Structure 1
Amino acid sequence: MSKPKLLFITQEMSPFLELSKISEITRQLPQAMQEKGFEIRILMPRFGNINERRNRLHEVIRLSGMNIIIDDNDNPLIIKVASIPSARMQVYFLDNEEYFQRKYVFRDKEEKFYADNDERMIFFCKGALETVKKLGWAPDLIHCHGWMTSLIPAYVKTSYKDDPTFKNSKVIYSLYENGFTETLSPSFIQKSVMNGMTEKQVETYATGTSSALETGALEYSDAVVIGSQEVNPELLNNVKKAGKPVLEYNLTSDSENFYNFYEEITNEELVHVA
């Protein structure tokens, strides 16, 4: 029997970028699941403050060269890779000169939220799915970490729902504390729509707040992980009402619980979101 395939998509990961507890979780969890027999892939953005030389990133020519279209503009996607030798894991980095070659991550040196954070997120989510397609690797499970991954569940269940790479994939979304207090661009929803989907399908995301992004991700996910004690109570209430499988926060410190949760989701009948 082939190993179950588990894809991690995250906005940060130790030792490359450490902004919050997400970086620690996404460093430890993939290794623990690999040791338990899962086949692992990890994708994250190549933010400009990630040191390429120190982390030994190098471009993967066979994966680079795609363009991601946002608001009718072609944006080149460059794929780089680095290894974590102690864990025998590789991490794929999605890069683009305009979106990611900056000294800071989500805010400039004056702490002002980047006006194009909406496009940076859309680029990352589209680019991640296109990269996995190009790898020719169909994940059984996709586990998303951080608000920059929040469009992944919607894309998988709409635009990519009949794609051979993703048609049998289950999506898990980890909820953390609010990622930002600002609001994304008012044109965010129009820009986010892909072929095979409508604005109505992403209207839950429309206000562009951190809470709206998480609510949209929950709507399209097959299962939820409570990744923090500081999760917005309204979101926790939405999780309860949705009746989806949930891994509670008090169980997340033990990788065995994640293993059992992944096994449970993998074996559930796939429920398509209309």
Structure 2
Amino acid sequence: MAIDPLKILFVASEVEGLIKTGGLADVARALPRYLAQQGHDVRIILPFYKTLKRRNEARLLASRWLPTPAGQEDIGYRLHQLELDGFPVYLIDCPRYFERAEPYAEHNQAYADNGERFAFLAAATLHATEQLGFAPDIVHCNDWHTGLLPLLLKTRHSHNPFFAQTRSVISIHNAAFQGVFDRQQFWAVPEIQDYEQRINYDYGHINLLKCGVLYADKINAVSPNYASELLTHLGAHGMASVFQQRAADLRGILNGCDYQDWDPATDPHLPANYDAKALRGKRLCRAQLQQDAGLPTSDDPVYGMVCRLTEQKGVHLLIPALESFLRHKVQLVIVGSGDPTLAGQLQALAARFPTRLAFINTYDDRLAHLVEAGADIFLMPSLFEPCGLNQMYSLAYGTLPLVRAVGGLKDTVVDWDVAEQATGFCFTDPTANGLLDAMRRSLLYFLQEPERFARVQHTAMQTRFDWPDSVAQYVQMYRDALGR
């Protein structure tokens, strides 16, 4: 149990097991779980989305009105609660903002009022917390959706004795998404007007991520290398000067991997389980993957990819590389959805190479696990990658990751050429040719050095990124924020 346990309010826009669109959800479940296991008092706050899983299990705690500026109508909301991993999740229920088909966007178009929606979430979070009587030591914010919380603690609640000992931290899971909106969307948060010069994006627009970075007591990037990249103009997505201004308070803590959900020895999604000592089950997973993907049964090397279809993930580099690579005796299974243009190009390639390429235009959790287990090599040619989790899953499943050496990928994958420490393949050149060279290199080693490939698989499966190691660094950051 923790010495001097902390009260931590974890605020996120998605949490795995309840609502998920990306890796933020995995962290927003795992980190609170491991903090709670160490004896800290952890609560999560999340929007009560229409599509929330286990929605019918939530019990109503209270109905409240969020005060707004004079002349404006107060905003009514209800507060619900359910349990996740043994600790409470509070759900902010406001149909005008969260009773929608998706959390952020429909048909690849963001909701026009996202600024107003998540400004409400920030203000309602602190209002609800006070109604609950839970005075947190730390409010842990995540990405732009929660960027207003640190500012509200330092303005609206600066003289509120309830929050007198409360400090804030913000985790940057992806600084490319900054939450830039017209200032008129923030009518319920008049405090912004006094600080607009510092947090504006350009005339008349507010940058919510910039707001969080400027006013949080500590800032965390989700890998050490990504923290370094955020201090550079190349890697900071236009916010380098802001991160440089807060460099003394910027940390880089690598996300852990949740091996409770991602362990080939126990994974319930697989047709056969296996571990580093006995890989027979992996061959059965490969056969099942080929069958489910509609590819012929073959001993040709199988490459896998599970991702959102975006330029960030390097899909636009992969498509031209495949024109040449699929002429080799290989198979590739891609599972993911996103940009319809990229999806159309992949569908066209799959039609041209039906025995080599399977593209499944969806996100399916079972298929994601099967790709990790059934493939030999996993592709992550990202332009940038703050941390990345799939490369950690791939290592655990003995599926060697092929990554571009950026962000957390550089922190977690050791290139084939680094002798006994190798766990995968790395390249640096962000071009289709750079990726193609790396894929051909991996294919050559797979075919010509099978014994070494097996040894590298074994090394990969022994590599661990355990959450307790990361949690210790988070707790130290919390204590530094509190001055303890």
TM-score (norm 2): 0.49
1:242 counterpart (225, 241, 246): 246
Structure 2: how far apart are the matches of 1:42 and 1:163? 22
1:92 counterpart (90, 93, 117): 90
How has the CA–CA distance of structure 1 residues 201 and 14 changed in structure 2, closer, same or farther, with 3 Å as cutoff? same
Describe how 1:124-135 pairs up with structure 2 within 5 A.
124-135=121-132
Structure 1 residue 186: Cα displacement: 4.0
Q: Is the 8 A contact 1:146 1:179 kept in 2?
A: no
Describe how 1:112-127 pairs up with structure 2 within 5 A.
112-127=109-124
Structure 1 residue 43: Cα displacement: 0.3
Structure 1 residue 238: Cα displacement: 2.9
Q: Is the 8 A contact 1:133 1:165 kept in 2?
A: yes
Describe how 1:167-182 pairs up with structure 2 within 5 A.
167-178=164-175, 180=177
Structure 1 residue 178: Cα displacement: 4.3
Structure 1 residue 246: Cα displacement: 2.9
Which residue is equivalent to 1:4?
6
Q: Which residue identity is paired with 2:29?
A: R
Q: Is the 8 A contact 1:48 1:102 kept in 2?
A: yes
Instruction: State the SS of the aligned residue for 2:182.
Output: coil
Q: Which residue identity is paired with 1:218?
A: V
Q: Give the unaligned 5+ runs of structure 1.
A: none
Does residue 1:200 correspond to 2:194, yes or no? Answer: yes
Structure 1 residue 264: Cα displacement: 4.4
Structure 1 residue 57: Cα displacement: 1.6
Instruction: State the SS of the aligned residue for 2:181.
Output: coil
Q: Which residue identity is paired with 1:46?
A: F
Q: Is the 8 A contact 2:214 2:242 kept in 1?
A: no
Q: Is the 8 A contact 2:113 2:185 kept in 1?
A: no
Structure 1: how far apart are the matches of 2:79 and 2:182? 27
User: Which has the greater radius of gyration?
Assistant: 2
Runs of 4+ in 1 over 4 A off after TM superposition: 178-183, 208-211, 228-232, 267-270
Q: How many residues align?
A: 261
Q: Is the 8 A contact 1:181 1:210 kept in 2?
A: no
* Cα-Cα RMSD: 2.9
Describe how 1:12-31 pairs up with structure 2 within 5 A.
12-31=14-33
Q: Is the 8 A contact 1:147 1:179 kept in 2?
A: no
Structure 1 residue 173: Cα displacement: 0.4
Instruction: State the SS of the aligned residue for 1:69.
Output: coil
Q: Is the 8 A contact 1:80 1:93 kept in 2?
A: yes
Structure 1: how far apart are the matches of 2:147 and 2:16? 20
How has the CA–CA distance of structure 1 residues 186 and 131 changed in structure 2, closer, same or farther, with 3 Å as cutoff? closer
CA displacement, residues 155-187 of structure 1 (integer Å, 9 cap, x when unaligned): 001111121221211110011224658842341
Question: Which structure is richer in relative contact order (CA contacts within 8 A, separation 6 or more)?
Answer: 1
Which residue is equivalent to 2:74?
74
**Percent identical:** 19
Q: Which residue identity is paired with 1:98?
A: R
Structure 1 residue 227: Cα displacement: 2.4
Structure 1 residue 100: Cα displacement: 0.9
Q: Give the unaligned 5+ runs of structure 2.
A: 257-464
Does residue 1:259 correspond to 2:472, yes or no? Answer: yes
Which residue is equivalent to 2:144?
147
